[in-house]
A = this chain, B = another copy of it.
Amino acid sequence: MSEKQEHSRRGVLRTAAGVTLGAGIATGASTAPAAADGGGSRPPGQRNVPREVAILLYEGFTALDAVGPYEALCRVPGVRVTTVAVKAGPVRTDTGELGIVAAKTLRQVPRADVLVIPGGGERGTTESMADVRILEWIRRVHRHSTWTTSVCTGSLILGAAGLLRGLPATTYWASRPYLKEVGAIYTPGRFVEAGKIITAAGVSAGIDMGLHLAARLSDQRVGRAMELAMEYDPEPPFGTGSPEKADAETQALALKLLADSAT
């Protein structure tokens, strides 16, 4: 018996990284049969080539827009996630308070299997919509991608790159009418799949899309497992998470808080 099997037999509990945290407390889960290699939808003969998920970062992006899909995709078998920006290194979010590191430059990532474009504050979104380096990179990667995706106002950046013309899509709740301006057709939903393009609604909707994508890149079992791995059994405390559920005062205050926190 290998050390690994013996370890498993002891039935030790696991933390979020799934390795032993200590000894002695049994759980049924860790002794159940290990399932799925997660290669469900991978083309034959490519099982050992990691598929690259490239998440674009740009000054003024919204942190959760990028980190939601990252967290849902980073443990999918055979998937490697990388962060990409015009310049490698720390990129500031829309509040200016947080920096997330871009591992690579746009030039270093000419192709990716999955492209994720997060949304951002007004400045970040509009600057990206006008940045030819970003738009050309998106178009180039999209040409060969398996999936091209966005979260929140990221869909307006996809739209500015000309990728949403005539397609159903979604975006941040307050920006829905802007989809028309990039030729897309606003369609309700936490995420909207149109061919190989998936657009998610605002901020936290990137988690829902990420889990959907985890299953698309692998199989339903991996999707279900990642939902549990993220303990995604949400109980929103206020029930005001969409404009349909929030009154005018809440909508106005949300927009004010967003404006006041923007850099």
Contact = CB atoms under 8 A, between A and B. Distances in A.
Interface of A: 13-22, 25, 27-36, 38, 60, 62-65, 67-68, 70-71, 74-77, 80-83, 90, 94-95, 97-101, 103, 119-126, 152-153, 156, 172-175, 177-178, 181, 190, 201-205, 207-208, 211-212, 215, 220-243, 245-246, 248-262
A177 B13 CA distance: 8
B64 A68 contact: yes
A226 B64 CA distance: 13
Number of copies: 2
A232 B234 CA distance: 9
A56 to B, nearest CB: 14
A82 B14 CA distance: 30
Residue from the set A22, A67, A235, A242 with the largest chain B CB neighbour count within 10 Å: A67
B254 A226 contact: yes
B14 A175 contact: yes
A47 B126 CA distance: 33
B229 A258 contact: yes
Most buried by B among A63, A211, A231: A231
A1 B221 CA distance: 59
Given A15-B175, A15-B258, 15 more contacts: A14-B122, A16-B120, A16-B122, A21-B175, A28-B248, A35-B249, A64-B64, A75-B260, A82-B97, A203-B229, A204-B234, A205-B231, A228-B251, A229-B254, A234-B236
A258 B21 contact: no
A184 to B, nearest CB: 14
A123 B21 CA distance: 8
Nearest to A235: B190
A257 B222 contact: yes
A103 B92 CA distance: 11
A153 B16 contact: yes
27 contacts: A13-B174, A14-B255, A16-B120, A17-B124, A18-B122, A21-B125, A25-B178, A29-B255, A32-B248, A32-B251, A35-B256, A38-B257, A63-B70, A64-B64, A64-B67, A64-B71, A74-B261, A75-B261, A99-B101, A99-B103, A204-B232, A207-B234, A224-B238, A225-B257, A232-B236, A233-B236, A233-B241
